[in-house]
Amino acid sequence: MRQERHVGYEIKALSNLLRRKVLERTCTPEGERDDFTEMQVKLLGFLCHNRDQEICQKDIEEAFYIRRSTASRLLKRLEAQGFIVRQSVERDARLKRVTTTPKADALHQKIIDRINSVEDLLTQGLSQTEVEQFLSTVEKLKQNLL
């Protein structure tokens, strides 16, 4: 019996496989997993990619569509772990600029290396033309859903 294939189902299946592979790569050789949530990793990436800008908690709330309480808990944990520092802004002492520490920068590089490793695995055996066509198709799919 042949089952009909659906684009949405295949995208979800691919997403599940990709997430599993990324999580597999976050484990140490001893099988221990890094103690970071996906949101913490995304936030550190956001801060590292925008280090030339003044990022405050409000910017994080808006960028990730999260509540003030969620952003506050997230930042407190990262600060306690030594990944970020919050410093007063000259123009308004109530505002705190959020910046990464060298510890966060090192972790971010490690994460970038993992992403590149998974990307290499994912695109193995595909030509540059095939990758570009896939990305073009994905863009059309995304536009269809907007």
Confidence of residue 16 (pLDDT cuts 50, 70, 90): very high
Q: Is the pTM of this model over 0.75?
A: no
Tens of pLDDT, residue by residue over 58-70, are: 999 999 999 999 9
Evaluate whether 84 touches 50 at the Cβ level (below 8 Å). Answer: no
Task: Using alpha carbons, select from 76, 85, 67 the residue that is nearest to residue 40.
Answer: 76
Find residue 97's DSSP bridge partners.
Answer: 56, 87
| CATH fold of 37-122 | Arc Repressor Mutant, subunit A (1.10.10)
**Where are the domains positioned within the chain?**
37-122
The CA distance from 69 to 81, in Å, is 18
DSSP H helices in the chain: 7-25, 38-49, 57-64, 68-80, 102-122, 128-145
Tens of pLDDT, residue by residue over 93-108, are: 788 999 999 999 998 9
Token look-up 């295949």 returns 10
